[in-house]
C-alpha cells in the first residue's frame, strides 16, 4: 500500500494545467496605477499547474479507509505545490532580499502563493512561465453587520424553536448527538469560555492550546471579537448549560478557526489556510457561514479549486447562500449567491442533470422563517461558471429550460430570529438573522448523521439531506433548494451502516470487471450507480433478485441498492 501511495503521488504532480485568465488581473492593473513604485500591495499568484480533483477523488477510492484517502490527497497536493513552486519561491526569496516583496506565504490546497509586491516585482513575475494569473488580494467584508438582540435565558428545559422545526429532539431520543464528530468553524472566532461550549472545544494539545488558530492575526488565540462565530458554534453544539438548548449536535466537537477581524473583514487566503488546517488536523466537516459577493474570475477559480480538492479529501462543507436577495438591482441573478456557496454540491440532484457540470464539497444553505417562508434576505440562485474558463460549466440563460445554471441553494433551514450564544458574556444568548444562522443547523445535522455512520461520503451526505428534506416546491428551486432540513428524516435515512448491511446478503460478480457486473440480492427494489465525484451514472427499478450493470467506463463507482430490508452500498471497480 505504501508503494502504491507514493506512486500515485508522482502520477499527479503535473496533471492539470489551466489557462485563459489574463496574467495580470484587470483589478490588479487598476491597483498598480494607484500605488507608487515603492509601495507594495498584496497579491495571489495562481500557478498554471493545478490538480485534477476528479482524478484525485477516483484514485483515492483505492484506499480502504477515509483517513488513508485523506492522507493520500493531502500528500499529493503538498508534493505538487512543493515541486511546482520550487523555482518561483527561489525567485521570490531573491526579490524579498532586494526589498521588492515580503510576507510570502505558500499554499497547497490551491497551488498558489501570496505575498506583498511592488509594481516592478509584479511586472517581472508576469513573465514567468509557471504563472497562470496574478490578482489583487483585497480585503473585503465577508461577514456583514447583523443586528443582534439580547435574548433571555431559558428555564433549564428550553429547546430553541429552530431545533424543534427540524425535528432535532427526536434524533437525540435515538441516541445520536454528534459524539465523535469534529467540526471546523471557519468564522470570526469563538467565545472560548462560554458555559454552553464547555467540554465541546477541540483539544489542540500544546501546539494549539486555545482550541484552534487565528489566521487573520496569525496567532494561537481564536477568540471571537465580533459575535458571529460564537452564535454559529452555539447552533452546532451549544449544550444548554445556561438554560437554553441551542445546539443541534450537543456532543460534537468544535475546532475554532478565526479568519476575520472584529469588523467581519478578511480575504480568501485566510480561509483557504483555515481549510488546509482543518484537513490536516482531522476535521470531519467544515461550517463556512461566510461569503464574498461578486468575486472576479480569478477569485472564483481560487475558491472552486479549494472546494474541489476538499471534496477529493472526503470532507464536506456547509456554506451559506448569502443575504443579498433584496439587492438584485446591484447583484442580480446569476451572481446573487455568495462565494463559496456558488460552488457545486457533492451530489447532483436529478433536477440539475439537464445542465450538469462538476462537483465540489459545498452544500449551500438558504434561510426560511418559522412559517417556512423564504427569508427576505436569503440570496437567490442560480449561479453560473461560464465566466471561469478552466471550468466553463453550468451556463445560465434567463428563461431557458436547459441552460438553467447551477441551482442554488441545495437546502434551507430556519434563519430568522435564531437564538444562540452571545459572545459578550459567558452565559448569555442573543437573536440573529441570516443564512449564516441556517448553515450551522445543516452542519450539525451532518454531525448527527456521521455519529450514526462515520464512513458517509460527501456525496452520500448531500443526497440524503436533499432526498429527505421537506419539499416546499415541486422541484429543486433557487429559493428553497430541495426543501426544509429534516434532521430526523436525514438520520433515519442513514440506515446502511456496517451493522445493518450485514443482514442484507448481497453478491456482486465479477468485481473488479472490465465488461459487466451481476448483482444478486433478495428483495431488490432500485439500483443507482454513482461515480465517486457524486454524479448519478445509472438508475433503474428492479423487482427481481438479480440485475446486470454494464456500459461503465473505466473507474471506481458506488452502487446503492434499495431492498425490502433496507439500503446497502457497495463499490464497483471497472478495469
Residue 500 has pLDDT above 50, yes or no: no
- Report pTM: 0.86
Containing 255, the helix (H) or strand (E) segment is strand 253-258
Residue 2 has pLDDT above 80, yes or no: no
Question: Between these two residues, 156 and 216, which has the higher pLDDT value?
Answer: 216
Predicted confidence band at 153 (pLDDT cuts at 50, 70, 90)? confident
Decide yes or no: CATH 2.170.190.11 for domain 498-574: no
Percent of the chain with pLDDT over 70: 94
Where is average pLDDT lowest: 5-14, 237-246, 395-404?
A: 5-14
The pLDDT assigned to 504 comes to: 74
Predicted confidence band at 499 (pLDDT cuts at 50, 70, 90)? very low
423-458 pLDDT, tens digit each: 999 999 999 999 999 999 999 999 999 999 999 999
Residue 481 has pLDDT above 50, yes or no: yes
Mean pLDDT on 116-139: 96
Sole residue written with cell 496569525: 218
Residue 186 has pLDDT above 80, yes or no: yes
Residue 147 has pLDDT above 50, yes or no: yes
CATH 2.60.40.1930 residue ranges for the chain = 498-574
The pLDDT assigned to 99 comes to: 97
Backbone angles phi, psi at 495, to 5 degrees: -115, 20
Residue 555 has pLDDT above 90, yes or no: no
The pLDDT assigned to 503 comes to: 58
Residue 324 has pLDDT above 90, yes or no: yes
Question: Between these two residues, 407 and 513, which has the higher pLDDT value?
Answer: 407
Residue 91 has pLDDT above 50, yes or no: yes
Cα gap 329→331, rounded to integer Å: 6
Q: Show contacts of 387-393: CB within 8 Å, 24+ apart.
A: 387/297, 387/300, 388/297, 388/300, 388/301, 388/304, 389/18, 389/19, 389/20, 389/21, 389/297, 390/18, 390/19, 390/20, 390/21, 390/50, 390/301, 391/301, 391/304, 391/357, 391/358, 393/357, 393/358
Residue 5 has pLDDT above 70, yes or no: no
Q: Is 477 exposed, middle or buried (0-12, 13-18, 19+ CB in 10 A)?
A: buried
Predicted confidence band at 146 (pLDDT cuts at 50, 70, 90)? low
CB 33, CB 23: distance < 8 Å: no
Residue 224 has pLDDT above 90, yes or no: yes
Predicted confidence band at 570 (pLDDT cuts at 50, 70, 90)? confident
- Average per-residue pLDDT for the chain: 91
3-state secondary structure at position 445? helix
Q: Which of 143-157, 255-269, 413-427, 485-499 has the highest mean pLDDT?
A: 413-427
Where is average pLDDT lowest: 51-65, 218-232, 259-273, 415-429?
A: 51-65
Residue 145 has pLDDT above 60, yes or no: no
Mean pLDDT on 76-101: 98
The pLDDT assigned to 164 comes to: 98
Where is average pLDDT lowest: 333-337, 356-360, 366-370, 540-544?
A: 540-544
527-545 pLDDT, tens digit each: 888 886 667 788 888 887 8
The pLDDT assigned to 522 comes to: 85
Give the fold, CATH level 3, of 149-493.
Answer: Rossmann fold (3.40.50)
Mean pLDDT on 155-178: 95
Q: Which of 61-65, 153-157, 351-355 has the highest mean pLDDT?
A: 351-355
Predicted confidence band at 149 (pLDDT cuts at 50, 70, 90)? confident
Q: How many residues does the chain have?
A: 575
CB 502, CB 565: distance < 8 Å: no
Neighbours of 371 (CB within 10 A): 7
Residue 378 has pLDDT above 90, yes or no: yes
Cα gap 122→107, rounded to integer Å: 19
CB 365, CB 422: distance < 8 Å: no
The pLDDT assigned to 507 comes to: 86
Residue 572 has pLDDT above 90, yes or no: no
The pLDDT assigned to 466 comes to: 97
Cα gap 32→25, rounded to integer Å: 11
Cα gap 89→138, rounded to integer Å: 22
Mean pLDDT on 362-378: 98
3-state secondary structure at position 427? coil
Mean pLDDT on 264-285: 96
CATH 3.40.50.200 residue ranges for the chain = 149-493
CB 382, CB 453: distance < 8 Å: no
Residue 502 has pLDDT above 80, yes or no: no
The pLDDT assigned to 566 comes to: 74
Predicted confidence band at 57 (pLDDT cuts at 50, 70, 90)? confident
Predicted confidence band at 227 (pLDDT cuts at 50, 70, 90)? very high
Amino acid at each position: 500500500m505504501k508503494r502504491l501511495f507514493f506512486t500515485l503521488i508522482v502520477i499527479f504532480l503535473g496533471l492539470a494545467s489551466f489557462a485563459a485568465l489574463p496574467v495580470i488581473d484587470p483589478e490588479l492593473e487598476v491597483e498598480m496605477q494607484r500605488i507608487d513604485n515603492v509601495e507594495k500591495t498584496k497579491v495571489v499568484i495562481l500557478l498554471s499547474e493545478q490538480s485534477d480533483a476528479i482524478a484525485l477523488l477516483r484514485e483515492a477510492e483505492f484506499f480502504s479507509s477515509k483517513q488513508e484517502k485523506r492522507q493520500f490527497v493531502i500528500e499529493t497536493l503538498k508534493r505538487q505545490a512543493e515541486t511546482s513552486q520550487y523555482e518561483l519561491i527561489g525567485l521570490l526569496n531573491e526579490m524579498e532580499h532586494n526589498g521588492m516583496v515580503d510576507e510570502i506565504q505558500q499554499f497547497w490546497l490551491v497551488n498558489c502563493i501570496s505575498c506583498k509586491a511592488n509594481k516592478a516585482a509584479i511586472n517581472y513575475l508576469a513573465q514567468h512561465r509557471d504563472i497562470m494569473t496574478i490578482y489583487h488580494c483585497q480585503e473585503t467584508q465577508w461577514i456583514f453587520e447583523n443586528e443582534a438582540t439580547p435574548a433571555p435565558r431559558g428555564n433549564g428545559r428550553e429547546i430553541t424553536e429552530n431545533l424543534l422545526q427540524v425535528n432535532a429532539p427526536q434524533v437525540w431520543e435515538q441516541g445520536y448527538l454528534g459524539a465523535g464528530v469534529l467540526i471546523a468553524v471557519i468564522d470570526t472566532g469563538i467565545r472560548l469560555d462560554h458555559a454552553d461550549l464547555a467540554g465541546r472545544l477541540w483539544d489542540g494539545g500544546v501546539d494549539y492550546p486555545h482550541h484552534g488558530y487565528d489566521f487573520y492575526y496569525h496567532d494561537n488565540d481564536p477568540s471571537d471579537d465580533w459575535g458571529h462565530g460564537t452564535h454559529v458554534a452555539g447552533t452546532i453544539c451549544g449544550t444548554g448549560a445556561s438554560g437554553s438548548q441551542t445546539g443541534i449536535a450537543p456532543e460534537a466537537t468544535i475546532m475554532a478557526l478565526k479568519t476575520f477581524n472584529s469588523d467581519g473583514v478578511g480575504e480568501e487566503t485566510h480561509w483557504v489556510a483555515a481549510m488546509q488546517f482543518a484537513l490536516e488536523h482531522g476535521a470531519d466537516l467544515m461550517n463556512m457561514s461566510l461569503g464574498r459577493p461578486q468575486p472576479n474570475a480569478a477569485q472564483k477559480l481560487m475558491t472552486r479549486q479549494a472546494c474541489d480538492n476538499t471534496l477529493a479529501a472526503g470532507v464536506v462543507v456547509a456554506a451559506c447562500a448569502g443575504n443579498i436577495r433584496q439587492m438584485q438591482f446591484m447583484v442580480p441573478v446569476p451572481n446573487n449567491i455568495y462565494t463559496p456557496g456558488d460552488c457545486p454540491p457533492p451530489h447532483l440532484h436529478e433536477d440539475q442533470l439537464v445542465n450538469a457540470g462538476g462537483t465540489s464539497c459545498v452544500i449551500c444553505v438558504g434561510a426560511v422563517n418559522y412559517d417556512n417562508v423564504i427569508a427576505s434576505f436569503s440570496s437567490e440562485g442560480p449561479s453560473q461558471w461560464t465566466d471561469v474558463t478552466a471550468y466553463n460549466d453550468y451556463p445560465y440563460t434567463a428563461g431557458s429550460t436547459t441552460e438553467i445554471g447551477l441551482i442554488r441553494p441545495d437546502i434551507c433551514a430556519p434563519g430568522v430570529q435564531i437564538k444562540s450564544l452571545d459572545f459578550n458574556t459567558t452565559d448569555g444568548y442573543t437573536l440573529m438573522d441570516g443564512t449564516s444562522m441556517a448553515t450551522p443547523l445543516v452542519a450539525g445535522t451532518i454531525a448527527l448523521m456521521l455519529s450514526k455512520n462515520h464512513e458517509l461520503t460527501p456525496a452520500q451526505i448531500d443526497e440524503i439531506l436533499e432526498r429527505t428534506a421537506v419539499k416546499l416546491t415541486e422541484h429543486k428551486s433557487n429559493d428553497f433548494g430541495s426543501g426544509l432540513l429534516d434532521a430526523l428524516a436525514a438520520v433515519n435515512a442513514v440506515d446502511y451502516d456496517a451493522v445493518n448491511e450485514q443482514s442484507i446478503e448481497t453478491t456482486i460478480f465479477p468485481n473488479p470487471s472490465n465488461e459487466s457486473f451481476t448483482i444478486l440480492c433478495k428483495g431488490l427494489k432500485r439500483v443507482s450507480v454513482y461515480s465517486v465525484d457524486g454524479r448519478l451514472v445509472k438508475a433503474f427499478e428492479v423487482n427481481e433478485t438479480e440485475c446486470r450493470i454494464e456500459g461503465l467506463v473505466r473507474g471506481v463507482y458506488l452502487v446503492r441498492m434499495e431492498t425490502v430490508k433496507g439500503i446497502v452500498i457497495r463499490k464497483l471497480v471497472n478495469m
